[in-house]
Amino acid sequence: MPIDYDDMMQSGATGLAARYDEKDVMLYALGVGMGRDPLDEKELAFVYENNGLKVVPTFASVINRGEAPPERQRMPQKSSINFALVVDGERRITFHKPLPSKCEVVSDERMLAILDKGEGKGAVLVQERITREAASGDKLFTIVSSIFARGDGGFGGPSSKNMPQGGPELHEIPTRAPDLVKECDTRPDQAFLYALSGDRNPLHRDPAFAQMVGFPRPILHGLCSYGTACRAVLSTLAQYQPERIRQFDVRFSKPVFPGETLVVEMWQDGGTISWRASVKERPGTMVLNNGLCLLS
């Protein structure tokens, strides 16, 4: 059934309880390309627990949504989305404190906006999740994200982002040449490894399914490309110090195919890092844009 705007806007949950441990942290780091050189001591800190395990900040994206009692969840009653046609749109993670290597967490989430792009043009859903440490109640991070539901437009909802709580503002990339360029390879089997961090969508692993929904072959998870770009900033301008990253934004432009090389361009203006990423094998193809990283 199509989206019912009022019904969907009321969806959300409070008190979603989850936990993660060192295995989850290391698996995610491997999934975004950390540890390719096992003799690189700076990257070893993200994939080996015995020297004080560090956490790649964008690990926040894959921390389990968690569970809550039914009375604390409001699921849509009159709406459904064709998740086979859903892709990532934009994402902003604001970090309130560094992520511990293992933690029990509690999250609250709500819908911020649902934007109708028109019949046959899809819909944009903007959501917010605030995650806290269960023990202390301290905020860990806030995620504001949008997904593009390609098969769900034309339901008669608002069509513009010119509305309160319309999602992350797009960051403008400087017009000068980048201050730094970092190439990050991905492996042909990268999506299989990254899927173990939670996203089992067949779009990223099943060739027949990918073709059925309009792609020539499986595409890399957008959040894997996002985490790979975070690795590029973390390993250069942030000097492998994840606690320095206070915010990390992106707009997903085009898909990446496993095995391609991300070319991450960076501009530094004090603690503000602007970034974007293209694909080396397809010159001129911008896959991640309007990137912003705030460093402390």
Bridge-based pairing state of the strands 286-295 and 245-252 = antiparallel
Domain, as residue range, for 100: 5-295
Residues tagged active-site:
199, 204, 219, 222
Q: Residue 161: what pLDDT? A: 53
pLDDT at residue 169 is higher than 80 = no
Average pLDDT of the residues in 121-145: 95
Task: Tally the C-alpha atoms within 13 A of residue 83's C-alpha that lie toward its C-beta.
Answer: 6
State the virtual CA torsion across 20, 23, 25, 28 in degrees, nearest 10.
-120
Burial classification of residue 32, based on how many CB atoms lie within 10 Å of its CB (0-12 exposed, 13-18 middle, 19 or more buried): buried
- For the chain, how many structural domains are there in total? 1
Model confidence, pTM: 0.92
pLDDT at residue 163 is higher than 50 = no
CATH of residue 190's domain is: 3.10.129.10
pLDDT at residue 162 is higher than 50 = no
- Ranges assigned E (strand) in the chain: 12-20, 73-74, 86-95, 103-116, 123-133, 139-149, 180-185, 245-252, 261-269, 272-279, 286-295
SS3 49: helix
pLDDT tens track for 64-108 = 989 888 888 888 877 778 877 777 889 999 999 999 999 999 999
Average pLDDT of the residues in 11-15: 94
- In the structure, what pLDDT confidence band is assigned to residue 140 with cuts at 50, 70 and 90? very high
pLDDT at residue 152 is higher than 90 = no
The two tokens of residue 89 are 């749109």
- Alpha-carbon distance 296 to 294, whole Å? 7
Q: Residue 166: what pLDDT? A: 47
Residues 6+ apart with CB under 8 A from 123: 3, 114, 115, 116, 117, 148, 149, 152, 153, 155, 157
Q: Which amino acid is at 265?
A: E
